[in-house]
Structure 1
């Protein structure tokens, strides 16, 4: 079941988010929902938190990520962000454009 959530954003950020959603052929709500799915996952079983259970089952690429020892050192800012975000969710239902963006960002910041 879907429910409404009101967010308060800087006017400029709101307009940029609307343009991004339009460019991607989606809604700001869907972008925010997908982002929260990435953040709110249960690291014990790899599933996304919540009770709606609409997480995709498998089917995604199972790419090995570099270990902490083999990865390049992260800047303090990126390290702090990584600590806040935690481990990436293995299976999240994303459109193709968002999936490619996430993969490119992961490669860039790995």
Structure 2
């Protein structure tokens, strides 16, 4: 459930935030919400929960992981999101020689 929050910002900051939101194809509210989600993560990168639940732990971890993945996807710009959709899922394991495997791992680490 969404609720309203009023923020007081310097006029220049407000205008820059509006331009940023427009460039990203989103709203200032969504940018602020995403920023708070990032701030509320614990050191492991998992969003902090607010309140308890009686769910099974593994089920809750799966749901948390799915939400975290969805949140990371929302942080991507619309252009990068479209590119990711076009690329699809990663290729299955492929036999590579050692040099190629190291190159792929280094590239993945660099661009992660």
Q: Could you say which TM-score interval applies, normalised by the shorter chain?
A: 0.3 to 0.5
TM-score for both structures, normalised by structure 1:
0.48
Normalising by structure 2, we get a TM-score of 0.47
Which structure has more RCO (C-alpha within 8 Å, separation ≥ 6)?
Answer: 1
